[in-house]
Chain A
Amino acid sequence: KQEVTQIPAALSVPEGENLVLNCSFTDSAIYNLQWFRQDPGKGLTSLLLIQSSQREQTSGRLNASLDKSSGRSTLYIAASQPGDSATYLCAVSETSGSRLTFGEGTQLTVNP
């Protein structure tokens, strides 16, 4: 059974700092990996999707990498801002259109 772990569970940084969120998964036979953002009491917003054949994806200040063989992904946030404060969730799917398995998330606080 696929298990997804995110480290750290919580992170507090000063504004402007670059930071890395980690995600690991136990079964490397994934179809894709997706990073989401969740604000308190809200739904999930998709940030980046990496197909299993890809190594990384970038969107603005966000960069996600994937090392499928070692079962790891990282989300890099450059020049963090208070508006980046949210919970970041990592999820993997095993086939297209199949169920997602989520990690428990990293709660990020960026202090002004």
Chain B
Amino acid sequence: DGGITQSPKYLFRKEGQNVTLSCEQNLNHDAMYWYRQDPGQGLRLIYYSQIVNDFQKGDIAEGYSVSREKKESFPLTVTSAQKNPTAFYLCASSTRDRGNYGYTFGSGTRLTVV
């Protein structure tokens, strides 16, 4: 079955440490996204990529970095510059073709600073 796989499900980060969240999709979707969700809030866009080797900043990109070397993969690195990284991170993908396609989300990674 096609879908999006995020790993790990839970991640603990020490102060000053960089960590990378994995996101892989086998839907053949062109576009991929990273969102952050804080308790009681909606989703905020961190980065998105509409094509391989290209990505754009979202609303809250500071302290984060991404790469898109393969169509299937869009890893997110939370750097030490992100001062409040504890949150729930969701990866999504969508197609760029016109048609009745929506967005598919992964099951999320919960990051906690210890």
Contact = CB atoms under 8 A, between A and B. Distances in A.
Interface of A: 4, 32, 34, 36, 41-46, 49, 51, 89, 91, 93, 96-100, 102-105
Given A97-B30, A104-B42, 20 more contacts: A32-B102, A36-B105, A41-B88, A42-B107, A43-B6, A44-B90, A45-B105, A49-B102, A51-B100, A89-B43, A91-B43, A96-B101, A97-B50, A97-B96, A97-B97, A100-B33, A100-B92, A102-B35, A103-B42, A104-B41
Contacts of A4: 42
Interface residues of B, number: 32
Interface of B: 6, 30-31, 33, 35, 40-43, 45, 48, 50, 58, 88, 90, 92, 94-108, 110
Chain A interface secondary structure, helix, strand, loop or mixed? strand
